């Protein structure tokens, strides 16, 4: 359910049930507040896109893999427009004839086995492999570039999703900093506090493995065998093995884009991975205030040292729920 639909339903309740009946229960007490709608949104140049958590996770992965491959944001726009049209950004286990997955690729047409196509990493990379072979794809209209890869029976339909795809691509590749965020339920079951051989909890280890699979050999830190004992602010999740730092040094425009691409990806996967906090470039997203989006980060008073480190301008910090 989108936020707009929720507002419409509340308005209808007020219209037909009466304001007093809506505001109080029969015993006069106030009803519990409605939980926030879990969704993600991107806002760029006055255009807003809203997605549910499943769609957002897939969109974030599509953009992240373009970044890993060193492809321009245009490639992510084309891939997102294609996935919008083919599956509504969902990893479908069915389709026309033997079509499957995000891009409705067909085993019979050489896109891979059924199992491979249903692996988003395989299907997205297969799309980009084909796109990279399209001569001059960056200068083609989005619908033409997508059609060169997809060979759809409805080639003009990709254009219907071009604007939304462009907004998501800009936000999720780091070209529009802080333009993508998610509202996520912060009620996560507590897990064991035991640390693995790298000094990470199970949730943090899953984030580490996911980052490596998605972005490749990123320089990671903030954890150590046996656990971290110093070097971080008092109360830091690093001391509990719940946090990882992703370094994007030196501070530069290119590394700022990379950092925001990583930060956006992590927020897009926050529900799946149990992420609690993401900090980068003096901004912070917290699951406990996730509906507010990216907020200004405040360096704790009394902190001393390099401002680029204290303000998280040279690294993305991510920590997970206990």
Residues 277 and 152 in one domain: no
- Sign for the CA dihedral angle at 268, 270, 273, 279 comes to positive
- pLDDT confidence tier of residue 17, bands split at 50, 70 and 90: very low
Residues 27 and 45 in one domain: no
Print the domain residue range for 8.
3-34
Q: What is the pLDDT of residue 14?
A: 41
Q: What is the pLDDT of residue 118?
A: 97
Q: What is the pLDDT of residue 157?
A: 81
- pLDDT confidence tier of residue 48, bands split at 50, 70 and 90: very high
Residues 313 and 216 in one domain: yes
Average pLDDT rounded to a whole number, residues 141-167: 89
Residues 21 and 53 in one domain: no
d(CA 169, CA 291): 21
Residue 183 lies inside a defined structural domain of this protein: no
Average pLDDT rounded to a whole number, residues 211-222: 97
Residue 19 lies inside a defined structural domain of this protein: yes
- pLDDT confidence tier of residue 36, bands split at 50, 70 and 90: confident
Interval 49-69: pLDDT, tens: 999 999 999 999 999 999 999
Average pLDDT rounded to a whole number, residues 17-43: 61
d(CA 270, CA 285): 10
State the average pLDDT for the chain. 90
Total structural domains within the chain? 3
Residues 54 and 21 in one domain: no
Residue 282 lies inside a defined structural domain of this protein: yes
Residues 315 and 207 in one domain: yes
Higher per-residue pLDDT: 15 or 102: 102
Higher per-residue pLDDT: 36 or 26: 36
- pLDDT confidence tier of residue 37, bands split at 50, 70 and 90: confident
Residues 51 and 96 in one domain: yes
Residue 23 lies inside a defined structural domain of this protein: yes
- pLDDT confidence tier of residue 308, bands split at 50, 70 and 90: confident
Q: What is the pLDDT of residue 152?
A: 74
- pLDDT confidence tier of residue 233, bands split at 50, 70 and 90: confident
Residues 50 and 132 in one domain: yes
Average pLDDT rounded to a whole number, residues 182-202: 95
Q: What is the pLDDT of residue 275?
A: 98
- pLDDT confidence tier of residue 239, bands split at 50, 70 and 90: very high
Q: What is the pLDDT of residue 31?
A: 54
Average pLDDT rounded to a whole number, residues 179-197: 95
Residues 236 and 267 in one domain: yes
Residues 118 and 197 in one domain: no
Residues 17 and 99 in one domain: no
Q: What is the pLDDT of residue 33?
A: 61
- pLDDT confidence tier of residue 18, bands split at 50, 70 and 90: very low
Q: Which of 13-27, 30-44, 164-178 has the highest mean pLDDT?
A: 164-178
Residue 182 lies inside a defined structural domain of this protein: no
Residue 181 lies inside a defined structural domain of this protein: no
Model pTM? 0.88
Residue 69 lies inside a defined structural domain of this protein: yes
Residue 308 lies inside a defined structural domain of this protein: yes
- pLDDT confidence tier of residue 265, bands split at 50, 70 and 90: very high
Average pLDDT rounded to a whole number, residues 149-170: 88
Average pLDDT rounded to a whole number, residues 158-163: 92
State yes or no: pLDDT of 210 exceeds 70: yes
Average pLDDT rounded to a whole number, residues 260-270: 98
Interval 69-97: pLDDT, tens: 999 999 999 999 999 999 999 999 998 89
Residues 30 and 122 in one domain: no
As a whole-number percent, the residues of the chain with pLDDT over 70 amount to 89
Which of 123, 152, 176 is the last residue before a domain boundary? 176
């Amino acid at each position: 359910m989108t936020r707009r639909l929720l507002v419409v339903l509340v308005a209808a309740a007020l219209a037909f049930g009466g304001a007093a009946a809506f505001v109080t229960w029969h015993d006069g007490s106030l009803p519990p507040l409605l939980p926030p709608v879990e969704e993600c949104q991107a806002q760029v140049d006055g255009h807003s896109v809203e997605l549910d958590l499943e769609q957002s996770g897939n969109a974030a992965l599509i953009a992240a893999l373009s970044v890993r491959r060193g492809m321009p944001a245009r490639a992510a726009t084309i891939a997102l427009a294609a996935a919008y049209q083919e599956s509504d950004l969902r990893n479908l286990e069915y389709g026309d004839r033997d079509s499957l997955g995000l891009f409705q690729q067909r085993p019979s047409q050489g896109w891979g086995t059924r199992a491979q196509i249903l692996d988003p990493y395989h299907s997205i990379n297969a799309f980009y492999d084909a796109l990279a072979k399209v001569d001059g794809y960056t200068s083609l209209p989005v619908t033409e570039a997508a059609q060169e890869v997809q060979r759809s029976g409805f080639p003009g339909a990709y254009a219907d999703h071009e604007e939304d795809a462009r907004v998501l691509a800009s936000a999720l590749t780091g070209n529009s900093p802080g333009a993508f965020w998610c509202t996520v339920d912060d009620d996560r079951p507590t897990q064991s506090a035991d640390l693995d051989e790298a000094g990470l909890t199970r949730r943090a280890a899953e984030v580490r493995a996911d980052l490596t699979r998605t972005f490749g050999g990123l320089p990671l830190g903030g954890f150590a065998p046996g656990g971290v004992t110093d070097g971080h602010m008092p109360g830091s999740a690093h001391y509990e093995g719940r946090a990882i730092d992703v370094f994007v040094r030196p501070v530069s425009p290119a590394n700022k884009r990379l950092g925001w691409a990583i930060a956006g990806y992590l927020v897009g996967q926050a529900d799946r991975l149990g992420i609690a906090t993401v900090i980068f470039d003096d901004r912070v997203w917290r699951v406990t205030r996730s509906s507010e989006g990216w907020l200004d980060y405040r360096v704790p008073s009394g902190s001393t040292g390099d401002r680029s480190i204290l303000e998280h301008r040279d690294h993305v910090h991510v920590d997970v729920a206990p």
